[in-house]
């Protein structure tokens, strides 16, 4: 193996590492960046996952939590709750 091809492989490895560490949302590099389940239930399984750093993950999870709260209250779960107390 020549020195140049060895360097190219090394370079590719470094680029790959940086790509993996880059958060697509905030564009920052972080070791915490990974593919995470965001708590949604879309039909397409891939839509329930996002590549995020830990900061953006917290942000997205709280947004999704609010969305579920809105969904449950719109489905009349509040009435169900008060019925049960009778
Ligand atoms: Zn981020």
Decide: residue 55, CB within 10 A, 0-12 exposed, 13-18 middle, 19+ buried: middle
What's the pLDDT tens digit per position in 33-64? 888 999 998 999 889 999 999 999 999 999 99
Q: In the chain, what percentage of residues exceed pLDDT 70? A: 79
Mean pLDDT for 58-74 is 91
- Average pLDDT, whole number, for the chain? 82
Task: Tell me how far the alpha carbon of residue 18 lies from the centroid of ligand 1, in angstroms.
Answer: 14
* Confidence band of 80 (pLDDT split at 50, 70, 90): very low
Residue 21 contacts residue 31 (beta carbons within 8 Å): yes
Instruction: Sketch the domain layout of the chain as residue ranges.
Output: 3-84
Q: Name the residues around ion ligand 1, CB cutoff 5 A.
A: 23, 25-26, 53, 56
Q: How far apart are CA 15 and CA 21, in angstroms?
A: 10
Mean pLDDT for 10-26 is 73
Q: Kind and range of the H or E element at 6?
A: helix 3-21
SS3 56: helix
Q: How far apart are CA 58 and CA 25, in angstroms?
A: 12
Question: Can you give the pTM of this predicted structure?
Answer: 0.61
């Amino acid at each position: 193996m020549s020195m140049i091809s060895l360097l190219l492989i090394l370079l590719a490895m470094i680029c790959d590492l940086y790509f993996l560490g880059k958060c697509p949302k905030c564009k920052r590099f972080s070791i915490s960046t990974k593919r995470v389940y965001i708590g949604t239930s879309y039909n397409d399984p891939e839509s329930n996952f996002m590549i995020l750093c830990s900061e953006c993950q917290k942000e997205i999870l709280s947004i999704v939590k609010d969305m579920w709260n809105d969904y449950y209250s719109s489905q009349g779960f509040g009435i169900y709750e008060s019925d049960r107390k009778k």
